[in-house]
A and B are shown apart, each in its own frame.
Chain A
Amino acid sequence: DQQVKQNSPSLSVQEGRISILNCDYTNSMFDYFLWYKKYPAEGPTFLISISSIKDKNEDGRFTVFLNKSAKHLSLHIVPSQPGDSAVYFCAASGYNNNDMRFGAGTRLTVKP
């Protein structure tokens, strides 16, 4: 039962352009959403998050948008840099945050 889905296994963009990574969820009880970034042979690292009471959160080049009615969130990276090349995981959590569900990840490649 995959409650968090990232339907694009990979994405390739040119340096300086926008990267848009998408995530869909099915459980309406999720109230907090996070994006993690993962380099090879390392653990995931937290990137940005958003509460269900908001529809947008920005942190530098990274912006997360949440559309609760569509059960959809997206991560925008502007401008994209080669160092952003990694696997990005979307995660969602209910109120107690002890059962976080992860998507399968999207591999982003930013070409110089």
Chain B
Amino acid sequence: NAGVTQTPKFRILKIGQSMTLQCTQDMNHNYMYWYRQDPGMGLKLIYYSVGAGITDKGEVPNGYNVSRSTTEDFPLRLELAAPSQTSVYFCASRLDSISYEQYFGPGTRLTVT
């Protein structure tokens, strides 16, 4: 099992550009999450999904969009990149509603200049 994989590892965007951060898990987990971590801060939830076709907003959803067409994939879309979106982005998954442990990917470091 590869677990949770994220691509790319690093990216530099210009203001106003768009991009998609990819996230894939091979553990057949129902729940998937996107977090961002700013320097000196804890992880903050952007969006989450409880299954294919179902997504919902987290604590900091503005400026982002998600989709969940399959169990495995949960891409995060930035439409108009802004400097405030410079952060490290983590994707995570967990098995079901009973389990609490989340499994994290290695992260994507994004810089918007």
Q: Known: A98-B50, A99-B45, A102-B42. Is A43-B100 also a contact (CB below 8 A)?
A: no
Which residues of B have CB within 8 Å of A44? 43, 90, 104
CB–CB B48/A49 < 8 A? no
With A97-B94, A98-B31, A98-B50 already in contact, the answer to whether A43 and B42 are too (CB < 8 A) is no
A7: min CB distance to chain B, Å: 13
Within 8 A of B (CB), among A91-112: 91, 93, 96-105
Contact B104 A45 (CB under 8 A): yes
Contact present for B4 and A43 (CB under 8 Å)? yes
Q: Which of A89, A91, A104 has the most CB of B within 10 A?
A: A104
> Total interface residues on B, using CB and 8 Å?
27
A contact residues vs B (CB 8 Å cutoff): 2, 4, 6, 9, 32, 34, 36, 41-46, 49, 89, 91, 93, 96-105
A-B contact pairs, 28 of them (CB 8 A): A34-B100, A34-B101, A36-B104, A41-B107, A42-B107, A43-B4, A43-B92, A43-B104, A43-B107, A44-B104, A46-B101, A46-B102, A49-B100, A91-B42, A96-B97, A97-B94, A97-B100, A98-B33, A98-B48, A98-B50, A99-B45, A99-B59, A100-B102, A102-B43, A102-B44, A103-B42, A104-B40, A104-B42
